[in-house]
């Protein structure tokens, strides 16, 4: 006897074939080629990448337990000083947003940052 419920050797097997099991089995064994389709690239990206080939990252990080510690003048000034020092290490920090419990920023690493 064949253990495959989808085998079509007789009417008995085809009647006993569970359609859902057959579909799941075929999905597991079938590979689908997915072509990504992108809309038009924003023109501002050409302006950003014209001066450097270094990858640009969007980074978000937050405080422990999402404590509201960051939206102060002292933190902002310390962050600006830190960002200015990063140029000595070939790290570029771009636009940023300091929220009470997290920070968003653009950063790149390498030559040309």
Q: What is the pLDDT of residue 36?
A: 58
47 or 106: which carries more pLDDT confidence?
106
Tokens 């509201």 -> residue: 68
* CATH code assigned at 73: 3.30.70.1290
Q: CA torsion 97→71→77→44, rounded to 10°?
A: 10
Query: How many other C-beta atoms can be found within 10 angstroms of the C-beta atom of residue 34?
Result: 6
Model confidence at 2, in pLDDT bands (50, 70, 90)? low
- Chain centroid, CA 80 distance in Å: 27
Number of domains in the chain: 2
74 or 17: which carries more pLDDT confidence?
74
Q: Are 107 and 92 in contact (CB under 8 A)?
A: yes
Span 15-25, average pLDDT: 56
- Residues 51, 81, single domain; the answer is yes
Model confidence at 32, in pLDDT bands (50, 70, 90)? low
- Which segments of 2-113 are extended strands (E)? 56-62, 91-98, 102-109
- Residues 33, 47, single domain; the answer is no
- Residues 64, 16, single domain; the answer is no
Output the CA angle 37-43-47, nearest 5 degrees: 125
Range of the structural domain that residue 5 is part of: 1-37
């Amino acid at each position: 006897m064949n253990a495959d419920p989808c085998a079509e050797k007789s009417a008995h097997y085809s009647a006993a074939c569970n359609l859902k099991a057959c579909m799941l089995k075929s999905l597991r064994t079938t590979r689908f080629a997915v072509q990504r389709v992108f809309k038009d690239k924003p023109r501002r990206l050409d302006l950003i990448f014209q001066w450097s080939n270094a990858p640009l990252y969007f980074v978000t990080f937050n405080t422990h337990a999402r404590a509201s510690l960051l939206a102060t003048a002292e933190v902002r000034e310390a962050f600006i000083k830190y960002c200015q020092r990063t140029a000595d290490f070939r790290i570029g920090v771009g636009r940023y947003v300091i929220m009470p419990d997290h920070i968003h920023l653009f950063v790149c690493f390498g030559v040309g940052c």
